[in-house]
């Protein structure tokens, strides 16, 4: 009897242990589960009241947007020396705690109060790095005061280390002093530096850098590249310094920052390097500014009809960086929420397109700029989700609709990841930097503009996305050239700068059974803008099957033919005559070889050293899409979802969920498109957002500028 009682007690203990472990696992899963979230900046400024602040936080909560971002404005917090006023900020944190909203607090230690001196008169917020080292030291009091006050609030989500840390190098005393130290480490002796720079500085201490001296055609360029290399590290050094200061008072909360203008200024950021300090990688994405007309450069980045595609590109680029080790979440840290005067007013359709595209690309959060309009100064009466009566606009109602859909289907969206693609478009920041320095400011031809490489890469991306085929975007230094996967395809679209490390990686990649498609002037320069093709053996000759013999300029727009394709291909400005080696010539122009196909190891290379991609982009031509479709058919045969054909200005993102898939389809076309979605996994799809899905016919009728979200089981 005693033995039975003991066995019964053991059984009960084991049962209780099993139940305990079960619920603990559920708790851990709930803690680690990531669900897409929306939020917005609540812009605090003098003249507002705690009652208004409470109303704004409640609006976020009521509209299922549980993230509030706020600028901790130093010049508002300390209006006079030693006098601190936290009234509005305390009200914000109290309201956030009451309504269950989390706050990501943006530190602005580089924007001190006006009483610091005339350098800071009339300025509410400085975008630049510290101009002087003593400014950085003096900001410690602000950091301590703010962090210690709010670190224990249950509403605090994270610290935002700088707003939009400036990637555009600017000459300041602090930066130049640090540059001298950086140069001494790199060159060791000043004689070595003078030889490299074509200069004559008596010592490192006497070095002066003037960015204007690096402009113009007859300039020795080494100083420019050194300055830009230094600047990327300088930005990270400032972020590291600030994180160390915050950790003195708060070791619990995570860090975030948002490099701006990544679409056009990628060359000036070390995004992988930032991940060593921050816990989530973000970016500002304001389509009207970031994708629109750039007056000082006399060209449009992308046409209005392709803003959705540009948002998709920027999302995939950021996810490509964030998803490499060390992996971190990525956010759209600022998304245009409302009208910015003189440029554009986003519609509810735009909001839906940008938000769904971001989530479909893997973004964890999308934070709007802003919830409420500023009262005065730049951006006053602009950018907001709320109208002037402080009620939700149609744009905010659209965002809330999306938030409700995600919340209702949280088991599907939680931890959903973008589908991995066997096709990768490589983006090279150093190529963009070379093109920026050599840019023709007067020509309207894309091939000679600063973003020629990016436009070429985007053209290839667009050509495949219009067929519903997913594409990865990777920075050249981040791509795993030694991948064990077979039948992968890498597109090198006008990647003019290739380092020897890149070249060795490309050789390995092809030899192991994969394919390279190379266009434009890929491989013309090394990282120092020294050409690989003059008085040097072309290091890609074995892999590509030939060498560059000469570059010829043609009319602004012309067409070429390739032996294996029926249609001709539009070109811009130039083509390269190839000196064939092991490669088979597959295209000629004016009797000169201009394209080769080469087998190398177990892989292949198609090399067309002409602007075949920018030509297609400029002419809105389908020939590039047909070429890429054929050249990637082996790699894409197992993709679970795709379009039945090319649908101009349409694209699709696919998320892999725990039980199936979610597809986000966008129509940027001015016409209604009828899309048959070909699925190799399942025929059962449920409409989550939008309209026009005919489940019986497996046909999507999607109207202009619309977005549709389908759940596949």
Range of the domain at 649: 641-712
Secondary structure (DSSP) of 5-52 = HHHHHHHHHHHHHHHHHHHHHHHHHHHH----EEEEE----TT--HHH
CB atoms within 10 A of CB 292: 18
Secondary structure (DSSP) of 556-569 = EEEEEEETT-SS-E
**Is the same domain home to 604 and 657?**
no
Taking phi over 0 as left and psi of -120 to 50 as alpha, with beta for the rest, 164 belongs to left
Task: Out of 610, 636, 662, pick the residue that ends a domain.
Answer: 636
Dihedral sign of CA atoms 98, 99, 100, 102 in order:
negative
- What are the distances in angstroms from CA 6 to CA 14, 17, 19, 20, 27? 12, 16, 20, 21, 31
DSSP state of 380: B
**Is the same domain home to 506 and 622?**
yes
**Is the same domain home to 206 and 133?**
no
706 and 675 in contact (C-beta within 8 Å)?
A: no
280, containing H or E segment: strand 280-285
Closest CA to 237 of 174, 280, 284, 282: 174
How many Cα atoms sit within 13 Å of 404 on the Cβ side? 9
Secondary structure (DSSP) of 569-624 = EEEEEEEEEEEESSSEEEEEETTEEEEEEEEETTEEEEEE-B-HHHHHHHHT-SHH
**Is the same domain home to 139 and 161?**
yes
CA–CA separation, 44 and 683 (whole Å): 50
Task: Out of 341, 376, 408, pick the residue that ends a domain.
Answer: 408
| Inside any domain, residue 3 | no
- What are the distances in angstroms from CA 609 to CA 311, 514, 551, 612? 28, 20, 9, 8
- Entry field: residues in the chain: 713
CA–CA separation, 121 and 138 (whole Å): 17
User: Alpha helices of 248-306 — where are they, by DSSP H?
Assistant: 262-265, 271-274, 287-290
CA 509, 597, 602 angle in degrees (round to 5)? 35
CA–CA separation, 467 and 475 (whole Å): 24
State the helix-helix crossing angle for 173-187 and 190-197, rounded to 10 degrees.
100
pLDDT score recorded for residue 713: 86
**Is the same domain home to 433 and 298?**
no
CB atoms within 10 A of CB 672: 12
Task: Out of 587, 606, 636, pick the residue that ends a domain.
Answer: 636
pTM: 0.93
Identify the CATH number of the domain in which residue 77 sits: 3.20.20.80
Q: Which residues of 504-517 are buried (b: 16+ CB within 10 A; e: fewer)?
A: ebbbbbbebbbbbb
Q: Kindly state the greatest CA–CA separation across the chain.
A: 102
Identify the CATH number of the domain in which residue 658 sits: 2.60.40
- In sequence order, the β-bridge partners of residue 40 are 68, 368
User: What is the C-alpha end-to-end distance of the chain, expressed in Å?
Assistant: 54
**Is the same domain home to 613 and 526?**
yes
200 and 194 in contact (C-beta within 8 Å)?
A: yes
CA–CA separation, 234 and 215 (whole Å): 22
pLDDT score recorded for residue 438: 82
| Inside any domain, residue 13 | no
φ, ψ dihedrals at 260, nearest 5°: -90, 165
97, containing H or E segment: helix 87-99
E runs forming strands in 328-391: 330-336, 365-369
Q: Which residues contact 648 (CB under 8 A, 6 or more apart)?
A: 466, 620, 622, 669, 673
| Inside any domain, residue 200 | yes
59 and 371 in contact (C-beta within 8 Å)?
A: yes
Identify the CATH number of the domain in which residue 580 sits: 3.40.50.880
| Inside any domain, residue 221 | no
**Is the same domain home to 274 and 194?**
no
Q: Consecutive sets of 10 residues in the chain, 713 residues long: mean pLDDT of each?
A: 50 45 36 79 96 98 98 95 97 98 96 89 83 92 98 98 84 93 98 95 92 72 93 94 97 95 90 94 91 57 88 96 94 95 89 97 97 92 96 98 97 94 97 86 77 94 97 96 95 97 98 98 95 96 98 91 94 95 97 98 98 92 96 94 95 95 96 94 92 93 97 93
CB atoms within 10 A of CB 665: 28
pLDDT score recorded for residue 293: 56
SS3 for 463-521 is: HHHCCCCCCEEEEHHHCCCCCCCCCCEEEEECCCECCHHHHHHHHHHHHCCCEEEEECC
**Is the same domain home to 403 and 541?**
no
CA–CA separation, 457 and 448 (whole Å): 15
| Inside any domain, residue 7 | no
**Is the same domain home to 123 and 249?**
yes
**Is the same domain home to 654 and 590?**
no
592 and 611 in contact (C-beta within 8 Å)?
A: no
**Is the same domain home to 385 and 437?**
no
3-state secondary structure of 294: strand
Closest CA to 419 of 639, 655, 641, 638: 655
How many structural domains is the chain composed of? 4
| Inside any domain, residue 358 | yes
**Is the same domain home to 699 and 627?**
no
Six token digits for residue 311? 């948002």
| Inside any domain, residue 113 | yes
Six token digits for residue 194? 């003078």
CA–CA separation, 261 and 657 (whole Å): 31
| Inside any domain, residue 452 | yes
CA–CA separation, 489 and 250 (whole Å): 45
| CB-count exposure of residue 291 (10 Å: 0-12, 13-18, 19+) | buried
CA–CA separation, 161 and 255 (whole Å): 6
């Amino acid at each position: 009897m005693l033995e039975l009682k003991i066995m019964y007690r053991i059984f009960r203990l084991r049962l209780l242990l099993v139940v305990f472990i079960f619920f603990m696992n559920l708790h851990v899963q709930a803690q680690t589960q990531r669900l897409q979230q929306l939020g917005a900046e609540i812009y605090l400024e003098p003249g507002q009241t705690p009652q208004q602040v409470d109303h704004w936080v409640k609006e976020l909560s009521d509209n299922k947007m549980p993230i509030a971002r706020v600028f901790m404005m130093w010049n508002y917090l300390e209006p006079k020396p030693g006098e601190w006023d936290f009234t509005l900020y305390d009200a914000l944190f109290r309201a956030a705690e009451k309504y269950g909203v989390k706050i990501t607090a943006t530190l602005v230690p580089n924007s001190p109060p006006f009483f610091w001196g005339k350098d800071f008169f009339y300025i509410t917020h400085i975008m630049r790095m510290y101009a002087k080292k003593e400014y950085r030291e003096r900001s410690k009091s602000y950091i301590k005061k703010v962090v210690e006050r709010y670190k224990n609030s249950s509403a605090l989500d994270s610290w935002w280390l700088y707003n939009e840390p400036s990637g555009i190098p600017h000459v300041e005393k602090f930066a130049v002093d640090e540059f001298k130290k950086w140069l001494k480490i790199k060159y060791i002796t000043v004689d070595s530096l003078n030889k490299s720079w074509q200069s004559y500085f008596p010592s490192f201490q006497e070095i002066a850098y003037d960015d204007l001296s690096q402009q113009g055609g007859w300039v020795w360029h080494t100083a420019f590249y050194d300055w830009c290399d230094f600047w990327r590290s300088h930005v990270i050094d400032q972020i590291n310094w600030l994180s160390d200061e915050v950790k003195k008072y708060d070791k619990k909360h995570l860090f975030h920052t948002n490099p701006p203008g990544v679409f056009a200024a990628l060359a000036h950021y070390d995004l992988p390097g930032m991940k060593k300090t921050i816990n989530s990688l973000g970016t500002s994405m304001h389509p009207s500014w970031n994708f629109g007309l750039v007056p000082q450069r006399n060209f449009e980045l992308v046409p209005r009809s392709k803003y959705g595609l540009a948002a998709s590109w920027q999302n995939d680029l950021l996810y490509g960086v964030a998803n490499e080790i060390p992996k971190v979440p990525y956010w759209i840290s600022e998304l245009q929420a409302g009208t910015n005067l003189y440029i554009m007013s986003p519609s509810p359709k735009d909001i839906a397109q940008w938000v769904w595209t971001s989530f479909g690309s893997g973004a964890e959060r999308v934070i709007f700029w802003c919830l409420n309009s500023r009262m005065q100064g730049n951006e006053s009466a602009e950018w907001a989700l709320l109208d002037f009566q402080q009620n939700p606009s149609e744009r905010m109602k659209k965002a809330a609709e999306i938030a409700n859909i995600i919340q209702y289907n949280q088991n599907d969206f939680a931890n959903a990841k973008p589908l991995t693609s066997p096709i990768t478009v490589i983006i090279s920041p150093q190529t963009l930097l070379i093109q920026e320095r050599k840019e023709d400011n007067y020509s309207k031809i894309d091939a000679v503009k600063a973003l020629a490489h990016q436009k070429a890469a985007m053209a290839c991306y667009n050509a495949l996305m219009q067929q519903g085929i997913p594409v990865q975007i990777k920075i050249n230094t981040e791509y795993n050239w030694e991948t064990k996967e077979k039948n992968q395809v890498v597109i090198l679209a006008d990647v003019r700068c290739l380092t020897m490390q890149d070249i060795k990686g490309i050789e390995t990649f092809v030899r192991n059974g994969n394919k390279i498609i190379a266009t434009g002037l890929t491989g013309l320069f090394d990282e120092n803008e020294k050409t690989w093709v003059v008085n040097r053996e072309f290091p890609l000759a074995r892999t590509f099957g030939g060498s560059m013999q000469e570059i010829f300029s043609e009319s602004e727009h012309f067409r070429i033919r390739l032996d294996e394709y029926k249609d001709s291909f539009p070109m811009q400005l130039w083509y390269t005559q190839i000196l064939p080696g092991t490669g088979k010539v597959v295209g000629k122009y004016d009797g000169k070889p201009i394209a080769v196909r080469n087998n190398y190891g177990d892989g292949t290379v198609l090399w067309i050293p002409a602007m075949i991609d920018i030509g297609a982009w400029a002419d809105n031509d389908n020939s590039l899409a047909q070429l890429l479709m054929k050249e990637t058919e082996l790699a894409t045969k197992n993709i679970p979802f795709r379009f039945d054909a090319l649908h101009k200005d349409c694209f699709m993102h696919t998320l892999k969920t725990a039980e199936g898939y979610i597809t986000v389809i966008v129509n940027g076309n001015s016409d209604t498109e009828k899309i048959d979605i070909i699925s190799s996994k399942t025929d059962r799809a449920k409409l989550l957002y939008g309209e026009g899905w005919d489940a019986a016919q497996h046909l999507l009728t999607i109207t202009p500028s619309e977005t549709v979200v389908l759940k596949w089981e």
